[in-house]
DNA sequence: CGCCGAGTTGACCATGTTCAAGGTGGGTGG
DNA sequence: CCACCCACCTTGAACATGGTCAACTCGGCG
């Protein structure tokens, strides 16, 4: 249950798209403000765009933290469709599981660097250290909050509401609160919001027409009328 | 050792609608196989149908376990719509939050009995007891798994797929694997699946026509062709 | 008996999907 | 340096699915 690359053939680092690596981003989840602290040093790894970090169903022996770049967590359905659960950015933790197996596939969106920690080591440390344990709990709770909120977004009536909530989510994590550099493709956005690529495209165009946003290029969005966007989300 | 009664009748109550109380159910979430064990005795409370247990935004000072009956956790949107996140049944825990405030409203679906525990007490106990801590973590992880799966369901293409996954989820928690007593209204089902009451109704009728299910009455569903239903979910 | 809430059914309509062409821009090779 | 290429994105037209609105049925209860 692996081979399922939706977009492009994974391979080494030949010619990488010039993506904003570690710049701006969207939709985080298990973000931990202060780094988890335990002795075991993590292993640093790099992943080229679309390279898989771990697959749904694989044994869950590590957990991860994003250093730079963006990672997506998704589920592939039997009909070939893909549902993106979350995008993780610098500082976000991912890969902690209840089960011994992963329940999601994770892949690099752009050129990404992550640190991995051995699950056993973390769990052992957590058993001895109530503070670490509380941190992990808190991170999991935040992931739960994100997942529930995502359900709400997926359930929104119209495409504009979904897209507005996505853009605001992205903007909330940007330095310049009103200019977003999207590291992901329209397909990624569509799979995150439960829409088709065409609807995402059309809705963006319409938002530009309505002066809600401005698109310098396809990956750079400027929020022109944030309050109107926020009204859509409510 | 805590309450774990699967089918205990919730003691006296004035004049209640004759609902299947403690019979069958659907969609659980933070189920804990072995009861959480700490000294502080819980407080038992009864709730009549539609009575609120706690509200979104309220201070989160207790957490709960269902003894009998069914509880729904939901979010009310500004436009009046309601999104049901989960249904909790006997044994399920709910109300554990990362924040100091609740992020969901919970209400009794039918006549329900719950035990509540003081949050402070639980957290203090968890700090001293790694096993309890691990149990809480595990319960939260399971809730996370449920929430993610729910996202997938909400994102399904057609109404029949959503409903099939709901029915199978219900059936998985029934003694008689193929006969389900629904404790909730069509409106509850609709709000859980992100559909309208009319679509739920129509889809059920169609499934009956197609011999996938049989409806003895509106609340009792018999699965006639489980594998066909499972094919819909995939 | 008639009311009332829950559920069903039908007709129409809106939104997003599907299918099918075009555009666009950055990178490569001639 | 330019032309081509290939992802990625946009746009258009037809269609399908579920939402909306409205009428109707059913069953329990006063």
Closest CA to B222 of B232, B208, B210, B234: B208
pLDDT category of residue B21 using cuts at 50, 70 and 90: very low
Closest CA to B200 of B190, B209, B212: B190
CA distance B217 to chain A (A): 29
CA distance A2 to chain B (A): 17
Q: Tens digits of per-residue pLDDT, A95-114? A: 998 889 999 999 999 999 99
Q: How far is CA A225 from CA A140, A165, A216, B11, B38, in A?
A: 34, 13, 16, 56, 52
Q: Tens digits of per-residue pLDDT, A132-159? A: 999 999 999 999 999 999 999 999 989 9
Residue A142 in contact with residue A31, Cβ under 8 Å?
yes
Q: Report the residue from B138, B141, B147 with minimal CB separation from A151.
A: B147
State the pLDDT at residue A37.
56
Tell me how far apart the alpha carbons of residues B84 and B105 are, in angstroms, rounded to a whole number: 9
State the pLDDT at residue A115.
96
Q: Does residue B16 register a pLDDT over 90?
A: no
Tell me how far apart the alpha carbons of residues B191 and B197 are, in angstroms, rounded to a whole number: 8
Q: What is the torsion angle, in degrees rounded to the nearest 10, for the CA atoms of residue B15, residue B20, residue B22 and residue B23?
A: 160
Task: Quote the tokens at residue B228.
Answer: 């066909």
Are A140 and B145 inside 8 Å of each other by CB?
A: no
């Amino acid at each position: 249950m692996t081979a399922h690359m939706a977009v492009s053939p994974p391979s080494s680092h030949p010619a990488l798209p010039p993506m904003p690596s570690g710049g701006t981003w969207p939709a985080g989840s298990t973000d931990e403000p202060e780094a988890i602290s335990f002795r075991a040093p993590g292993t640093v790894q790099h992943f080229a765009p679309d390279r898989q970090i771990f697959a749904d169903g694989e044994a869950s022996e590590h957990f991860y933290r994003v250093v730079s770049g963006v990672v997506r967590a998704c589920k592939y359905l039997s009909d070939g469709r893909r549902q993106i659960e979350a995008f993780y950015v610098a500082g976000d933790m991912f890969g902690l599981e209840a089960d011994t197996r992963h329940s999601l596939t994770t892949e690099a969106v752009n050129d990404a660097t992550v640190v991995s920690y051995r699950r056993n080591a973390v769990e052992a440390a957590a058993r001895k250290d109530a503070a670490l344990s509380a941190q992990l709990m808190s991170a999991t709770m935040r992931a739960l909050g994100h997942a529930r909120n995502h359900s709400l977004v997926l359930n929104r009536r119209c495409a504009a509401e979904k897209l507005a909530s996505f853009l605001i989510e992205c903007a909330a994590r940007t330095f310049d609160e009103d200019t977003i550099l999207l590291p992901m493709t329209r397909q990624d956005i569509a799979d995150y919001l439960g829409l088709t690529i065409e609807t995402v495209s059309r809705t963006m165009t319409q938002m530009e027409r309505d002066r809600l946003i401005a698109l310098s290029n396809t990956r750079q969005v400027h929020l022109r009328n944030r309050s109107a966007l926020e009204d859509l989300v409510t």
